[in-house]
Amino acid sequence: MIGRFATPISAGGAGTFTYVLKEYNTSDTWTKPSGLVGIELIVVGAGGGAASGGRQATGVASRAGSGGSMGGVLCMYIPASSLGTTETITIGAGGGGGASVTSDNTAGTDGTQGGNTSFGAYRVDGGYQGTSTSGGFASSYFYNGGYVKHGYFFVGSNGRTSSSLGGQGQSLASQSLNQLYVWQSAPDGGGISSANVSNQGGIGTSLYNSSIVESSQASRGTPGTPITPGGAGGNGIDNYGDVMTVGPLMRAANLFGNYHIGTSAGGGGGGGTVTVGGDGGTTGKYGIGGAGGGASRNGSNSGAGSAGSGGIVKVLEIKEV
């Protein structure tokens, strides 16, 4: 966490404020209202897409697709004097998932990077894509001040890297009630070892909300048998993590809104001897990286990586009565 939060104070040293919360999941233009004191701003970058699994010959380790990374979360207070008459809102689209591999002896297809989300000059970059060899890297942020003067910035987690030996999928999930601000590591898929053992995908990560209730975890894709395909990963949950996307002033005004970070999906399971790998599950809205696809053997398609989810912007308008 970087910086600290400052509550606005009226010109006379005391006063009554009104609060209006606006949320955006598509690009738009914000117009400064009359009488504005300042805004509390939250910007969430889009998640990176995951890679698909590889497709390799029998007796060779077939590597699963790696997970995409999470977008960062920026929260800060901006006085009205630092805002233009209008500000352009750009919502980053989630990175695309890597397509299923349809050619023999081929590594998985990389995902694509999540789009940047911005409010005027205040920008959070999208999470990076999962690749055939490594998980996506964390996002970054930029704005005119160079650092967060009154607020915080949470760096998105890296996506989970798959096993080079074709092992089972992995993820990193919160295990503590004190970990409300969770670094969500989107899982990889299940690989197939050189001993021809098909493995399960990574389980989705859990996330606590502001009521300290932990979410369920998206199911991992089951491993294939010689004649059954690898299972698809379970889907993530939308709009669950309100702790990171409700600033101190929003909380004080009891305005939580509807848009929050979701949870990651489960990774696809590795395919059987003559069957396809499982696809990564659908990622929860918003800002979360995609889950990796399961590996396969020559002659059968690998599992596709899933897309990351898009970014959001939340603006709490603060006016003095």
> Which pLDDT score is estimated for 6?
46
Residue 194 has pLDDT above 80, yes or no: yes
Give pLDDT tens digits for 58-71.
999 999 999 999 88
**pLDDT tens-digit map of 143-180:** 555 555 567 777 777 788 888 888 888 876 554 444 44
User: Could you tell me what percent of the chain has a pLDDT over 90?
Assistant: 66
pLDDT confidence of residue 185: 79
E runs forming strands in the chain: 17-24, 28-31, 36-44, 55-56, 73-79, 86-90, 117-119, 122-124, 141-142, 151-154, 296-297, 312-320
Least confident stretch, 87-91, 130-134, 298-302, 305-309: 130-134
pTM above 0.95, yes or no: no
What is the domain partition of the chain in residue ranges?
1-321
What confidence tens digit (pLDDT) does each residue in 79-105 have?
999 999 999 999 999 999 999 999 999
SS3 at position 78? strand
Which pLDDT value is given to residue 99? Answer: 98
pLDDT-derived band at 135 (thresholds 50, 70, 90) equals confident
Is 4 a residue whose pLDDT tops 50?
no
Amino acid 5: pLDDT: 44
Q: How many CB atoms lie within 10 A of CB 304?
A: 32
Give the model confidence (pLDDT) of 220-279 as tens digits.
999 999 889 999 999 999 999 888 899 999 999 999 999 999 999 999 999 998 999 999
DSSP string, 244-313: TTS-HHHHHTT---S--B----PPPPPP-TTSPPPPPPPPPSSS-PPPPPPPEETTSPPPPPPPPPP-EE
